Structure 1
Amino acid sequence: MSDPIPVITAFRWVPDFAKGQVRDLRVRWALEEVGQPYHVRLVDGASVKAAEHRCLQPFGQVPTYEQDGFTLFESGAILMHIARTRKGLLPADPAAAAAAEQWVFAAMTSVEPAVQDLALVDVFEADKPWKEARRPLSVQRVRDRLEDLSRRLGDKPYLEGEFTAGDLMMACVLRGTARSGLLADYPNLDAYLARCQARPAFQRALAAHLADFDETPPIAA
């Protein structure tokens, strides 16, 4: 008997700048890579903060993951669960799998905070008087991380030689640099991201992610 199809949550509407960046995309991509069908339950800004959803995600965010009474929140935790329970995102050798897993955590804890900080300056604080003074510091933090990552990747196609969950998460984080254009200064990283995004599983996940958005913003209560 096959396992019940998992259900993930995603937003039914986000501003244009957020399309392609909401973290349900990470989970969709992982599920596509391992060939696992899934259902999506769409939520809005009100329902995501309601008690029913907070039972699944205490911080009122997406995505969440449900399967046969089992629930998870946080995209990294969901990705690791998928990778550990399905073939396709981690090597069979335990040491090689651990090496791949370290990149999931590196993407989320070493690279993403810098990328998010710059996005905060460029998008959410764009009209603030301190933006011009703060932005160079934010840019340099991103550059420092990209320098380190570029050096470590070298001329390899993927971080550990073959595509793993670590590459999936790192690619999702690097996509957050698109607005800044900084990745173009690191040709091997630019090519690496293009290689990851060219994967059919990513293309299917992105298409599904974008197709679920309503075009009309919700009416404020």
Structure 2
Amino acid sequence: MTPIITAFERSPDGGKGLARDTRVRWALEEVGQPYEVRLVSFHAMKAPAHLSLQPFGQIPTYEEDDLVLFETGAIILHIAERHAGLLPNDGNARARAITWMFAALNTVEPPILELSTAKFQEGDKPWAQERLPLIMDRIRHRLDQLSARLGDADWLDGAFSAGDLLMVSVLLRLRPSGLLDAFPKLVAYVARGEARPAYQQAFAAQLAVFTGKSSAG
């Protein structure tokens, strides 16, 4: 069965590749796995049919035969374990790549998401202007640590892996804030990720949804 993923019918990011289905699209493109997309509206995301796939009413979901998955990291790990190209063959290197997947989602992304929440959902609160600098300091601290670990390497641990795919995806969320600009090694790292043909295909597919063109993978 060709995998089916769900995506926003109308992505709130305006087709900028920040919606999480882009991450899954990228992984599928990297391993050369065709896929289909079922677009869901915000209303449909809260309906029983979608909640049976994703109990929290979010996207993306992943369906393959009798397997249904949700949570982007879990979906990408499944893809990486089932297909060659996103995890090393060596056991230790494989474990390290998975560690970087968790680091991207559990260590680097949370303060970045907190920044978005503080700006766009809590910006009118009386304490918002005091809180924002604290969040940005936490983000800069993480970026400083990540930049030091990356050094002059192209990727986080040898060859490109699912860890890099998720880390680049997370860092892309910082572009509107300008915070990433102070870390040239990370800027170059993100640019390398964006330059990969598989990313270009995934980005184009997500953008096509916003522009009303075909979204098939």
What does the per-residue CA deviation read over 1:35-73, in whole Å, with 9 as the maximum and x for residues that have no partner?
Answer: 000000000011111111111100000000001111100
- Normalising by structure 2, report the TM-score: 0.94
Distance of 2:155 and 2:57 partners within structure 1: 34
Root-mean-square deviation (CA, aligned residues, Å) is 1.3
Question: Amino acid of the residue matched to residue 196 of structure 2?
Answer: R
Selected match of 1:61 from 47, 58, 73 = 58
Aligned residue for 2:91?
Answer: 94
Question: Amino acid of the residue matched to residue 72 of structure 1?
Answer: L
**SS in structure 2 at match of 1:119:** helix
Give matches, 1:1-221, under 5 Å: 4-16=1-13, 19-213=16-210
What does the per-residue CA deviation read over 1:112-152, in whole Å, with 9 as the maximum and x for residues that have no partner?
Answer: 00111111122223333322111100100100110110110
What does the per-residue CA deviation read over 1:157-216, in whole Å, with 9 as the maximum and x for residues that have no partner?
Answer: 00002100000000010011111111111111110001111101001000001111267x
**SS in structure 1 at match of 2:111:** helix
Taking only the aligned residue pairs, the percentage that are identical comes to: 55
**SS in structure 2 at match of 1:46:** helix
- Normalising by structure 1, report the TM-score: 0.92
Structure 2 portions without partners, runs of 5+: 213-217
Question: Amino acid of the residue matched to residue 21 of structure 1?
Answer: L
Structure 1 portions without partners, runs of 5+: 216-221
Say whether the 8 Å CA contact 1:9–1:63 is kept in structure 2. Answer: yes
Number of matched pairs: 212
- The alpha-carbon distance between structure 1 residues 83 and 35, as it changes in their structure 2 partners (threshold 3 A), is same
